[in-house]
Amino acid sequence: MEARTILLPIAHLVSALRARMKGPGGYYNSGNALGLIVGLAIQIATAPVGLHEGSSVTMAVIEYFAGSHGTVALTLTTLVFFWGGEAYHRAWARPDAPDPALNRLGDFLSGLGAIGLGIALLLLGDPLLAATSGLLHALGKFGSTFHRPGTPIPMWPAAWPDPFRSAVLASRLPAMLATTVALGRALPEVWSGGSFAALPMPLTLLGCYLLWTKADLLLFGVGTKAIRQISTC
């Protein structure tokens, strides 16, 4: 009886998580949550003096979410991305999934989030990623919002992948490359006896990008007959 009492909540949790991961929303928000939680944990763990004092932890949390104009913009952007992920989840939770209107709402909110991300990256001094992770991502998401699947796009062969979904996918490549380079630089230092502190964030970011990329791929073919084949790969 005791084992059943313990296992039942776990079974419910697994079932809920499985339901969440049926569509892109679960993957988007899993990546969002992973980056947010690990980033905050690292911020607290590396707080200077008085690590275990409440005031130091509080200051670390404030610094993480609102320490500068860039971090405030990033915090607001993250909230919008979570909202967009929830819209995708609801769009794909229906029996006739995906719901076109809710799916477009997810695209629109993600486009707004991408604009916010671009602004945050500019404020944090990274114009290259602002142009790719921000502007290119926003163009792809807004294009998906207003373009009706199956409608021909001038100068774009029908046999080619959706240009707007492709733009979103391409927007992740520079950030993934930068993260991989950062990880490659950190590994030799750790191997030589250096601190492991440089590893968690790049590894986490790569995990986030894999989750977000999986979500991007699920959105290819939405509104076409190929959607079920793509969504089950």
164 vs 70, 204, 205, CA distance in Å? Answer: 27, 27, 23
Q: Which single residue is written with the structure tokens 């993934």?
A: 176
What is the reported pLDDT for 191? Answer: 86
Compute the distance between CA of residue 71 and CA of residue 60 in angstroms, rounded to an integer: 12
- Domain borders along the chain are 24-231
pLDDT digit string, tens, across residues 14-43: 666 666 677 899 999 999 999 999 999 999
As a whole number of angstroms, the distance between CA 166 and CA 163 comes to 5
pLDDT value of position 232: 32
SS (H, E, C) 72-121: HHHHHHHHHHHHHHHHHHHHHCCCCCCCHHHHHHHHHHHHHHHHHHHHHH
What is the spatial distance between Cα 29 and Cα 212, in angstroms, rounded to a whole number? 8
DSSP 2-61: HHHHHHHHHHHHHHHHHHHTTSHHHHHHHHHHHHHHHHHHHHHHT-SS-TTSHHHHHHHH
Q: Are 113 and 28 a contacting pair, CB within 8 Å? A: no
Query: At a CB cut-off of 8 Å and minimum separation 6, what does 54 contact?
Result: none
Say if residues 171 and 133 touch (Cβ distance below 8 Å): yes
Distances (CA, A) of 165 to 128, 161, 162: 20, 8, 5
Q: What is the pTM of this model?
A: 0.85
CA 54: distance to chain centroid?
30
User: For the segment 212-226, what is each residue's pLDDT rounded down to a tens digit?
Assistant: 999 999 999 776 544
CB 209 within 8 A of CB 31: yes
pLDDT value of position 230: 36
pLDDT value at residue 200: 93
CA 199 from centre of chain: 19
Helix axes of 69-92 and 24-45: crossing angle, nearest 10 degrees: 150
Instruction: State residue 114's pLDDT score.
Output: 98
| Residue 108 confidence (pLDDT) | 98
Low-confidence residues of the chain, pLDDT below 70? 1-20, 49-54, 223-233
